[in-house]
Amino acid sequence: MKKNKISKNWLRKQNKDIYVRKSKIEGYRSRAAYKLEEINNKFKIFKNNQSIVDLGAAPGSWSQYISKNIKNIKILAIDLKEIKKIENVFLLKGDFTNQKCQNQIKEHFRNKVDIILSDMAVNTTGNKTIDSIVTGELTIEALHFSEQFLLKNGQFVSKIFMGSTFNEIISLAKKIFKETHVFKPLSSRKDSKESFIICKFLR
């Protein structure tokens, strides 16, 4: 399919999408906020006073959701792209896979954190197999980081694609955490291979 035909189809889908309309009314920068809301409703992730890392956070709707709904949180949001200011959120621009960035996150908090979220995904190449492999590698990197930097009772939530890295990610998650769940929110597009893993309690 030609590129402008793909973007016309994308625009048509966006205009019809109830979550896109809802996000505009409620002031969220993207419809992704509702995926996190559904995850939280089902798995009870957030409580007041937590420390949270939001990986792949741009444009910022996950951090907005947390900042609006949870009291007294310490949250750091990082992305390759610039993120516009969000109340109560510390913003970092950089590549999470870079050791220097990971050190900056650790220095910011000093102590281990309660929650690590990752919605990181590569810019689509048009090849769904390649996209899911590269995004899978980001999830694996985030899992290793969580193993080092989460508190014992910590939680990890990440986007995961149904693809060749799926089984590898699930078995790694099960080695690191006592509980691992896979969940596809209703607000995640049906035709997307995206789901989320929710992991709790380090082994």
Ligand X SMILES: C[S@@+](CC[C@H](N)C(=O)[O-])C[C@H]1O[C@@H](n2cnc3c(N)ncnc32)[C@H](O)[C@@H]1O
| Of 71, 128, 159, 178, catalytic | 159
Closest separation between CB of residue 72 and ligand X, Å?
21
Closest separation between CB of residue 188 and ligand X, Å?
11
Residue spans of alpha helices (H) in the chain: 3-16, 18-26, 32-43, 61-69, 99-109, 128-149, 166-176
Q: Which is nearer to ligand X, 94 or 201 (CB)?
A: 94
Closest separation between CB of residue 113 and ligand X, Å?
17
Query: Which candidate, 201, 11, 192, 32, places its Cα nearest to that of 120?
Result: 32
Exposed e or buried b per residue across 46-64, where buried means at least 16 C-beta atoms within 10 angstroms of its C-beta: beeebbbbbbbbbbbbbbb
Residue 159 annotated as catalytic: yes
Q: Which is nearer to ligand X, 59 or 163 (CB)?
A: 59
Q: Which is nearer to ligand X, 27 or 178 (CB)?
A: 27
End-to-end CA distance of the chain: 46
Residues that bind ligand X (CB under 6 A): 29-30, 32-33, 56-62, 78-81, 95-97, 119-122, 138
Q: Which residue is nearest to ligand X (CB)?
A: 56
Which residues are annotated as catalytic? 159
